[in-house]
Amino acid sequence: MSLLQQSRKFLTAFVLILVLTITTACGGNVTQVDRTTPPPGVGRDVTYSQLERGNTAAGQTFGDWVVQTSRGLVKDAYVRDNNKLGVVISPQVRPNEVRPLARSLVEGFRKNFPNQDLTVLVYAPDKQLILTARYDVQSRQIQYS
């Protein structure tokens, strides 16, 4: 692989991390909703479109933010229970860029939903799970699988 291609991949990952970090820092925190109370209207009669990005107001807001700020790298996102983020990446994300992207998403997710264990699920464009990143609040470490 040429130096130019390696530089381009590194620069893409770096720019994404920078954009997510700056936007998270400047955008303020999404308030966390009490997880013991189900959101109003969630039940058997709720359609998929009503739960598209999140099953809480804070999750919906964060899911929308991820898709809007990803500059086309994330095609779809959803947040469940304010501790699980799933993203569908676009075809332009190369395999060696998936882990840095997941790390950036964990960092942004952690800042908006602090003091809890978090999971980020990364899906390929065909919606097959390709990476799971688990953040442990006690150790402050991310485990990939």
Model pLDDT for residues 70-98, shown as the tens digit of each residue = 889 999 999 999 899 999 999 999 999 99
Matching residue, tokens 């899911």? 63
Contacts 24+ apart (CB under 8 A), 133-138: 133/99, 133/102, 133/103, 133/105, 133/106, 135/106, 135/109, 135/110
Residues 63, 74 contacting (CB under 8 angstroms): no
Residue 49: its pLDDT value, please? 42
What pLDDT shows up at residue 40? Answer: 47
Q: How far apart are CA 29 and CA 45, in angstroms?
A: 31
Question: In the structure encoding, which two tokens stand for residue 120, read together?
Answer: 């980020």
Q: Which amino acid is at 132?
A: T
Burial 50-81 (b: 16+ CB within 10 A, else e): ebebbbbebbbbbbebbbebbeebbbbbbbbe
pTM score > 0.75 for this model?
no
Nearest alpha carbon to residue 126 among 77, 85, 90: 90
**Which of 107, 113, 111, 66 shows the shortest CA–CA distance to 90?**
66
pLDDT digits (tens, 9 = 90+) for 89-144: 999 999 999 999 999 999 999 998 989 999 999 999 999 999 999 999 999 999 99
Instruction: Look over the chain and give the mean of its residue pLDDT values, rounded to a whole number.
Output: 79
